[in-house]
Structure 1
Amino acid sequence: MAAHQPPTGEPDRPRGEIWIGDVARAVAALSVDPADKAVLSRIANLLGMETAAPVRPPSRSGSSEPRPRPRTVPSAPPSSPTPPAQEDPRQRRRDGLAVPLLQPLSAWDSVPRVWSEPALAGPSSRATGERPALQGLLPPHSEAATLRLLVSRLVAEGPVDIERLLGLMGTATVVTELPRQPVRTVRFGVQVLVDLGEGMEPFLRDAMRVLERAAAISGRHGCDVLYFADCPLHRSGPGAAWTWGSYHPPATGTRVLVLSDFGLHLDAAGRLPPRYEEDWRHTAGLIRHNGCSPVALVPAPLDRWPRWLTDLMPALCWDRTTTAAVARSRLP
């Protein structure tokens, strides 16, 4: 509904028009009560909704007609905020027509939301503050038995070997000492050589897990730990890297467990030193010369191992394929 219509016979000239929607937006912006008719009337008057015909432009003959003064509607007396019971507060009558008024809303009015799906559970304290539990590389059901085979060694201190004794007697051999069956023992202790090189960085937590299990099996005083990078021959030690020195093998009879990739990352990057294989052969020779037996855990598939590794010491693949039965068949 426009505020005014151009008089009949006058040319249709472009001019501003005020619509009922403009009044509704002004009422909503000012948060005016729709039932307050006096205020609504003032707003409509200010917007020019209730003015008389527009001012006519001067005629072409030059005669000027007096401009009609705008006819204003006197403000209605303040009415009670409560509308009559029979009148709908959302409607206002004008010229015999029911004009619906928009319901004023504010930016702070909140519409209740009904969610059809349950909310997601919030993060727990364990997920945010604690690291997930580490699962070892060895099979969980045989990890303890496999590690016990790795840190122990065979000694002829078991029951008397009757079959061997009868064989000696049948050949008329003088028996000066009763032959005994071999048994495994951890009383000689174990020395664990932990590789801290670039290729072993992803397996650092797994190496620490093996250290804890080895110390629990052989005892805290029977487990000696040395750290090195790539090869322990020239630089290794129990403390920080700047304290490392030349490698010295442990006491006679000690099992030596090596946790290393034996230069696989150096070979893949083309940075393998020319004397790398010779240094490892020299290290294994020192261990065997002192009466110790080395064994290795390699976190890589068998087809990626260097060819000279199995000639130096027994080695096991550090993954779920290595069970206690596999370790027993490959270890001396």
Structure 2
Amino acid sequence: MDIERLQQAEGPWPSGEIWIADMARVVASLGVDLADHVTLTKIAELLGMQMPAPVRRASQTGAPHSGSVPPSLRPPPPARPSAPATESAAPAQPFPDEPTPLLTPLSSGQSEPRAWAEPALALQDQQPAAHPAPYEPLLPPSSEAATLHALLSRIVFEGPVDLERLLDLVAENAFVPELPRRPVRTLRFGVQLLVDLGEGMQPFLRDEMEILERVAAIAGRHSCEVRYFTDCPLHRCGEGAGWTWKPYRPPASGAKVLVLSDFGQHGDSGGSAAYRLRRDWQAAVDLMRRNGCLPAALAPMPPDRFPAWLTSLMPVLSWDRTTTTARALIGLS
């Protein structure tokens, strides 16, 4: 075919916005001989294809080396002298001076969908666009609010009068300075959230941000205090950028403290690093309790990976679908 011969012809045809296929289409439509390099060069210039200048290297005699110039860019050889034209010979037709009309540009859009022959491409057109999976919390969605309420609240004896306890006191002829009341849970003392941004908690960053929104909706934004830290908040923590962090200060007396951390279990904290982490957490929890605050923790790992020193400091719950409200109440008790 002429198109295949043109693509295999010698000469470095540049590529750009005008493709070599456009050049081949013009040559095929005009019926230009592929050996006529002068005509091909003029067609390429009309299409906007810039031809690179030939590289010439001087030989020993000063003449350009014939092997350094592609055959398609070499100047045509000098015309051989021919016999004088006779009356019967037809005069040579010169190349017309009129510019070759340019092709009419066509739109790249297709009026109808293309039918792919390959099975893989045809299957892609039939499948709908994939949408990201919706966010699923680590805690069971049906009991997440109740579980968080149990973690954030504290028990106070301010409920209805405990009649059974009151009757027992009267039967014992005991002095009753005030009416005994039933225990209830309250959030009025406030909540402090300690969010670990360490390397081990990076895969759970979105889950931490979602927990912040849930806690703010349950306890109220005015009663929720957030502090970010890495590894342990004792020496450096804060609510803003890392360079503004300061040593840890516990919240107001009676507040509940909820820690979101892996406590160094997902990192390589062994030896002196593990001992320092344990010592810092013991000091931080002791500071909380001396101020009248009750700490609890959510850790994204199974209970068998909880270190013994951690469970002796505060109640720790597994941050996954196995933690229900009933298990949370048992763990907090």
TM-score, normalised to structure 2's length? Answer: 0.62
Aligned residue number for residue 222 of structure 1: 223
**Once the 2 structures are TM-superposed, how far is the Cα of residue 171 of structure 1 from its aligned partner?**
2.0
Q: Work out whether 1:120 is the aligned partner of 2:125.
A: yes
Cα distance in 2 for partners of 1:224, 1:250 equals 8
Residue 113 and residue 167 in structure 1: after superposition, are their counterparts in 2 closer, same or farther (change >3 A)? closer
Give 1:312's aligned amino acid: L
Aligned residue number for residue 168 of structure 2: 167
Cα distance in 2 for partners of 1:301, 1:167 equals 44
**Once the 2 structures are TM-superposed, how far is the Cα of residue 319 of structure 1 from its aligned partner?**
0.3
Give 1:145's aligned amino acid: A
**Once the 2 structures are TM-superposed, how far is the Cα of residue 331 of structure 1 from its aligned partner?**
1.6
**Once the 2 structures are TM-superposed, how far is the Cα of residue 272 of structure 1 from its aligned partner?**
2.4
**1:282-297 to 2 correspondences below 5 Å:** 282-297=283-298
Q: Secondary structure at the match of 2:225?
A: strand
**Once the 2 structures are TM-superposed, how far is the Cα of residue 265 of structure 1 from its aligned partner?**
2.8
**1:321-332 to 2 correspondences below 5 Å:** 321-332=322-333
Cα distance in 1 for partners of 2:148, 2:316 equals 13
Cα distance in 1 for partners of 2:125, 2:160 equals 64
Residue 269 and residue 278 in structure 1: after superposition, are their counterparts in 2 closer, same or farther (change >3 A)? closer
Cα distance in 1 for partners of 2:276, 2:204 equals 25
Aligned residue number for residue 234 of structure 2: 233
Q: Deviation per CA, 1:142-185, whole angstroms, max 9, x where unpaired? A: 11111111111111111111111122222221101111111111
Residue 271 and residue 198 in structure 1: after superposition, are their counterparts in 2 closer, same or farther (change >3 A)? farther
Cα distance in 2 for partners of 1:178, 1:132 equals 54
Cα distance in 2 for partners of 1:118, 1:265 equals 42
Residue 171 and residue 225 in structure 1: after superposition, are their counterparts in 2 closer, same or farther (change >3 A)? same
**1:1-16 to 2 correspondences below 5 Å:** none
Is contact 1:263–1:272 with CA below 8 Å preserved after alignment? no
Cα distance in 1 for partners of 2:285, 2:115 equals 73
Query: Comparing 322-331 with 200-209, which one deviates more in the overlay?
Result: 322-331
Give 1:262's aligned amino acid: F
Q: Secondary structure at the match of 2:317?
A: strand
Q: Secondary structure at the match of 2:146?
A: helix
Q: Secondary structure at the match of 1:140?
A: coil
Cα distance in 2 for partners of 1:316, 1:329 equals 10
**Once the 2 structures are TM-superposed, how far is the Cα of residue 266 of structure 1 from its aligned partner?**
3.8
- Computed over aligned residues only, the root mean square deviation of the Cα atoms, in angstroms, reads 3.3
**1:7-156 to 2 correspondences below 5 Å:** 120-121=125-126, 124=129, 127=131, 132-156=133-157
Structure 1: runs of 5 or more not aligned = 1-20, 33-111
Is contact 1:196–1:227 with CA below 8 Å preserved after alignment? yes
Residue 132 and residue 176 in structure 1: after superposition, are their counterparts in 2 closer, same or farther (change >3 A)? same
**Once the 2 structures are TM-superposed, how far is the Cα of residue 273 of structure 1 from its aligned partner?**
4.3
**1:144-223 to 2 correspondences below 5 Å:** 144-223=145-224
